């Protein structure tokens, strides 16, 4: 007899029926059950049957299942008569909750089969696919504990639900046209439209209307991606003039709009079905989809409803988060009042919202921009045992973390703002996570910045509280992801983070270990006039930097003499002006000088513009500008002086932008070589929002490897503030135990 223990994503993903069918087909006897320690299987039978079972099990698992560990022991046979699925052993254990899963190919085949019971039914699902996280109210995960409790199973669905060999055995959200949720089309005043919802939606989209579409874990705002008219109107209503919109299309249409590899396609098709940012093809879509942007965020239909929306006439849809800027994604149509002409909605409540996840495929790696739907609440596993801990995150890309034992649960992406709805959403998910994963935090962590909502939230818990420096947390997140136990050299290149000296940090090279850090190098401090407001006006940053370094400010042409006068006073008197070492702000400065971005309407815009201005995949062969490093400070005057010379002599923008990127690589390398002399350390961790820049990321990695460093990147987590909470949590834990 074999006793097999399996861990990973193996619950709520069709694993038990899969094992049941495999065991039965090999004539094996025994059982499978879900326990707090994962899946437990005992099987007896012929030697050849048992060896086939062990061989086939990991190779044939359901698409959404991920086996992280499989161990087995050979024991004396037990008198089992049959193979059975036993009830879960979850009395004190933690029920694992699956992320929402994209609809599977079997269900799609059925949905388009005119003879099928669920023909064209937009809520079709099975144990391999469908909503999970988004419908759970409480644990254990069972139909009465989900938002499906108000849809009693019809006899057809009940028969499938209770047949162990069926693909819908214990599929909690199982439904059909007789017993399940239904679509309704509403006009802008929320009055039902008397027409077949899908056909009418097609007609309205073709009339350039903007629709709010209720999906799995939130609303989308949808319109034709061909239509300048509709997209311009959507941008006007959403107050979002420039930020790229994501496009949803069928797999067969992908090739018309983006360049992708086999791995990219695999990721797009995966159960998480993220938005993947890929190089755009000479676009057949409206130029308003992603203005001035050589990339495009694309995703495949992941809800059955999406498959019904896309047709030969409607091949490309803008599908952007259904929310007002800085608000969480909507779960009810009324939250979108004023944004849409019509609403295609349904009566299955969304209990837990999560925005689409976003990944950038570039430089031979996948960079998480946002880890949310399809990934949450699956925990990250860490090497050392953790005290029950809450970590609040920062203020951008709001995400918190809760941990217990070896698991860290990151929240879905909440928002970039701090509105009332945002704080409510944050608290709600906090309370649910504590309940589901049975965590009563004994320790809390937050940012050093005293004014963040997240800091106040952490303070309100009345727990021992650790305030963690922002960039130390950035590095600790990547250190945790790779389970690195010894000290490393850390590069934290970022937008904004509160320093231990109350300056704004973000161009930091540190010596970091699990609990502590030492700042080895940083960019020269330069003034940021007006604080956060300056971030929206890169030209003000450019002026402040040049003025402070006694360089010619004439090239800052977008500011009037009067504006310059005011700024000068502000800088001289240090009025609402903060010293900053942020590399993100240096990008802003250069972007403004080169005229690629003066006015920032979304986070990261000017840095993106400068990256794209290079118009190349490789900047390593460019000649760096001059810089100097003295007293561990990277001085910027030589760099800016030469950039001004290049601009004045009419050099090409792409040439200057590339040389600037190359300079960042060079001072990073020089600083690291010097750090290696001092410390003997060869391991380098890259973190911070600037690491979303693929040119820099790949350039730094390439150069460091050539110089015999070992490089670690954020791979399962975002390099940006979306993983700050993980870093805070790890440092706080280490200090608390230490
Ligand atoms: Zn399915
Ligand atoms: Zn039914
Ligand atoms: Fe940051």
N residues, the chain: 738
Distances (CA, A) of 738 to 462, 486, 516, 584, 734: 21, 15, 11, 34, 6
d(CA 671, CA 677): 10
- Ligand 3 centre to CA of 277 (Å) is 21
Q: Which ligand is nearest to the CA of 171?
A: 1
Q: Which ligand is nearest to the CA of 159?
A: 2
- Ligand 1 centre to CA of 9 (Å) is 16
Please give the torsion angle defined by the CA atoms of residues 545, 550, 555 and 560, in that order, rounded to the nearest 10 degrees. 80
Question: What's residue 89's pLDDT?
Answer: 61
d(CA 470, CA 392): 12
- Run of H or E residues at 159: helix 155-161
Q: Which ligand is nearest to the CA of 103?
A: 1
Q: Which ligand is nearest to the CA of 107?
A: 1
d(CA 709, CA 255): 38
- Ligand 1 centre to CA of 43 (Å) is 27
- Run of H or E residues at 653: helix 653-679
Q: Which ligand is nearest to the CA of 474?
A: 3
Residue 36's pLDDT band, with cuts at 50, 70 and 90, is low
Tell whether the torsion through CA atoms of 690, 691, 692 and 697 is positive or negative. Answer: positive
d(CA 465, CA 455): 10
**Measured in Å, how far apart are the chain's first and last C-alpha atoms?**
45
Average the pLDDT over 249-256 and give the result.
Answer: 98
- Ligand 1 centre to CA of 29 (Å) is 27
Q: Are 456 and 436 in contact (CB under 8 A)?
A: no
Q: Which ligand is nearest to the CA of 303?
A: 1
Please give the torsion angle defined by the CA atoms of residues 258, 599, 369 and 616, in that order, rounded to the nearest 10 degrees. 50
- Ligand 3 centre to CA of 470 (Å) is 6
| Lowest mean pLDDT segment, chosen from 30-39, 126-135, 205-214, 316-325 | 30-39
Question: What's residue 560's pLDDT?
Answer: 95
Q: Is 232 helix (H, G, I), strand (E, B) or coil?
A: helix
What does the pLDDT look like over 692-736, one tens digit per residue? 999 999 999 999 999 999 999 999 999 999 999 999 999 999 999
Average the pLDDT over 279-296 and give the result.
Answer: 93
- For residue 94, is pLDDT > 70? no
- Ligand 2 centre to CA of 60 (Å) is 29
Q: Which ligand is nearest to the CA of 152?
A: 2
- Ligand 1 centre to CA of 128 (Å) is 5
Q: Is 581 helix (H, G, I), strand (E, B) or coil?
A: coil
Average the pLDDT over 655-680 and give the result.
Answer: 98
Locate 568 and state its tokens.
Answer: 């000068």
Question: What's residue 228's pLDDT?
Answer: 97
Q: Is 214 helix (H, G, I), strand (E, B) or coil?
A: strand
Q: Which ligand is nearest to the CA of 151?
A: 2
Q: Which residues lie at CB < 5 A from ion ligand 3?
A: 494, 721
d(CA 196, CA 671): 65
Q: Which residues lie at CB < 5 A from ion ligand 2?
A: 154, 157, 176, 178-179
Residue 363's pLDDT band, with cuts at 50, 70 and 90, is confident
Q: Which ligand is nearest to the CA of 101?
A: 1
User: Alpha carbon 498 to chain centroid distance?
Assistant: 23
- Ligand 3 centre to CA of 288 (Å) is 29
d(CA 677, CA 642): 29
Residue 681's pLDDT band, with cuts at 50, 70 and 90, is very high
What percent of the chain is modeled with pLDDT above 90?
88
- Ligand 2 centre to CA of 197 (Å) is 20
- For residue 662, is pLDDT > 90? yes
Contacts of residue 105, defined as CB under 8 A and 6 or more positions apart, other chains included, come to: none
Q: Which ligand is nearest to the CA of 157?
A: 2
Question: What's residue 699's pLDDT?
Answer: 96
pTM over 0.85, yes/no = yes
- Ligand 3 centre to CA of 245 (Å) is 23
Question: What's residue 95's pLDDT?
Answer: 61
- Ligand 2 centre to CA of 115 (Å) is 16
- Ligand 1 centre to CA of 299 (Å) is 19
- Ligand 3 centre to CA of 722 (Å) is 8
Residue 684's pLDDT band, with cuts at 50, 70 and 90, is very high
Q: Which ligand is nearest to the CA of 166?
A: 1
Locate 78 and state its tokens.
Answer: 């037990």
- Helix, strand, coil shares of the chain, percent, nearest 5, are 35, 25, 45
What does the pLDDT look like over 197-240, one tens digit per residue? 999 999 999 999 999 999 999 999 999 999 999 999 999 999 99
- Ligand 1 centre to CA of 125 (Å) is 4
Residue 93's pLDDT band, with cuts at 50, 70 and 90, is low
What does the pLDDT look like over 370-422, one tens digit per residue? 999 999 999 998 988 999 999 999 999 999 999 999 999 999 999 998 999 99
- For residue 96, is pLDDT > 70? yes
Contacts of residue 304, defined as CB under 8 A and 6 or more positions apart, other chains included, come to: 103, 107, 108, 111, 121, 122, 123, 124, 125
Tell whether the torsion through CA atoms of 296, 329, 359 and 130 is positive or negative. Answer: negative
Q: Which ligand is nearest to the CA of 725?
A: 3
Q: Which ligand is nearest to the CA of 304?
A: 1
d(CA 144, CA 152): 10
Average the pLDDT over 246-256 and give the result.
Answer: 98
- For residue 92, is pLDDT > 50? no
- Run of H or E residues at 694: helix 694-706
- Ligand 2 centre to CA of 22 (Å) is 27
Average the pLDDT over 622-645 and give the result.
Answer: 98
Q: Which ligand is nearest to the CA of 125?
A: 1
User: Alpha carbon 143 to chain centroid distance?
Assistant: 28
Average the pLDDT over 565-583 and give the result.
Answer: 95
Q: Is 361 helix (H, G, I), strand (E, B) or coil?
A: strand
d(CA 23, CA 25): 5
- Ligand 1 centre to CA of 379 (Å) is 23
Question: What's residue 317's pLDDT?
Answer: 98
- For residue 280, is pLDDT > 60? yes
* 505: nearest Cα among 689, 361, 330, 241: 689
Q: Which ligand is nearest to the CA of 497?
A: 3
């Amino acid at each position: 007899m074999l006793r097999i223990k399996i861990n990973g994503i193996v619950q709520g993903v069709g694993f038990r029926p899969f094992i049941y069918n495999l065991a039965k087909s090999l004539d094996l006897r025994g059982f499978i059950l879900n326990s707090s320690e994962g899946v437990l299987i005992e099987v007896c039978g012929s030697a050849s049957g048992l060896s086939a079972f062990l061989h086939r099990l990991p190779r044939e698992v359901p698409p959404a299942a991920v086996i992280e560990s499989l161990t087995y022991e050979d024991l004396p046979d037990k008198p089992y008569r049959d193979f059975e699925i036993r009830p879960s052993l979850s009395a004190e254990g933690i029920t694992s909750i699956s992320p929402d899963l994209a609809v599977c190919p079997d269900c799609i085949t059925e949905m388009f089969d005119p003879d099928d019971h669920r023909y064209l039914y937009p809520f079709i699902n099975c144990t391999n696919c469908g909503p999970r996280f988004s419908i759970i109210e409480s644990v254990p995960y069972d139909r009465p504990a989900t938002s499906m409790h108000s849809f009693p199973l019809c006899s057809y669905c009940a028969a499938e639900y209770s047949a162990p060999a069926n693909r819908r055995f214990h599929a909690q959200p199982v439904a059909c046209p007789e017993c399940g949720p239904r679509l309704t089309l509403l006009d802008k005043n929320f009055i039902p439209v008397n027409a077949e919802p899908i056909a009418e939606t097609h007609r309205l989209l073709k009339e350039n209307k903007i629709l709010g579409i209720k999906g799995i874990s939130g609303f989308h705002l949808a319109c034709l991606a061909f239509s300048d008219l509709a997209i311009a109107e959507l941008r006007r209503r959403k107050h979002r003039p420039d930020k790229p919109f994501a496009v949803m299309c069928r797999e067969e249409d992908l090739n018309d709009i983006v360049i992708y590899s086999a791995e990219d396609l695999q990721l797009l098709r995966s159960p998480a079905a993220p938005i993947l940012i890929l190089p755009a093809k000479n676009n057949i879509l409206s130029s308003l989809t992603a203005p001035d942007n050589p990339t495009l965020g694309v995703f495949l239909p992941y809800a059955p409803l999406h498959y019904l929306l896309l047709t030969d006439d409607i091949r490309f849809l803008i599908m952007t988060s259904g929310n007002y800027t800085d608000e969480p994604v909507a779960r009810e149509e009324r939250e979108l009042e004023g944004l849409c002409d019509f609403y295609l909605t349904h009566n299955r409540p969304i209990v837990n919202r999560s925005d689409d996840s976003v990944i950038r495929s570039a430089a031979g790696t996948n960079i998480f921009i946002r880890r949310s739907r399809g990934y949450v609440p699956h925990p990250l596993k860490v090497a050392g045992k953790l005290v029950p801990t809450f970590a609040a995150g920062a203020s951008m890309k709001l995400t918190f973390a809760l941990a217990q034992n070896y698991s860290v649960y990151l929240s879905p992406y909440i928002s970039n703002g701090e509105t009332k709805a945002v704080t409510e959403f944050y608290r709600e998910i906090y309370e649910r996570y504590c309940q589901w994963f049975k965590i009563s935090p004994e320790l809390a962590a937050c940012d050093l910045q005293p004014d963040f909502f997240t800091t106040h939230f952490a303070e309100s818990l009345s727990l021992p509280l650790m305030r963690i420096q922002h960039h130390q947390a950035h590095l600790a997140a990547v250190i945790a992801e790779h389970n690195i136990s010894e000290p490393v050299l850390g590069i934290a290149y970022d937008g904004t983070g509160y320093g231990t000296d109350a300056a704004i940090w973000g161009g930091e090279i540190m010596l970091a270990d699990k609990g502590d850090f030492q700042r080895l190098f940083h960019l020269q401090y330069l003034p940021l006039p007006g604080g956060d407001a300056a971030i929206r006006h890169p030209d003000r940053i450019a002026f402040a930097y040049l003025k402070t370094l006694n360089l010619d400010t004439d090239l800052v042409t977008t500011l009037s003499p009067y504006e310059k006068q005011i700024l000068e006073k502000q800088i001289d008197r240090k009025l609402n002006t903060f010293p900053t070492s942020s590399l993100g702000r240096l990008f802003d400065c250069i972007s403004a000088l080169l005229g690629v971005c003066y006015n920032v309407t979304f986070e990261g815009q000017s840095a993106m513009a400068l990256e794209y201005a290079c118009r190349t995949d490789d900047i390593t062969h460019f000649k760096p500008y001059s810089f100097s490093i003295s007293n561990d400070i990277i001085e910027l005057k030589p760099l800016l002086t030469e950039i001004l010379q290049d601009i004045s002599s009419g050099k090409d923008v792409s040439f200057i932008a590339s040389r600037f990127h190359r300079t960042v690589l060079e001072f990073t390398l020089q600083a690291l070589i010097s750090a290696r002399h001092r410390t003997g350390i060869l391991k380098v961790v890259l973190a911070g929002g600037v690491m979303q820049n693929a040119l820099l990321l790949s350039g730094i990695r390439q150069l460091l490897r050539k110089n015999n460093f070992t490089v670690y990147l954020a791979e399962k987590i975002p390099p940006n503030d979306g993983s700050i909470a993980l870093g805070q949590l790890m440092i706080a834990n280490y200090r608390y135990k230490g």
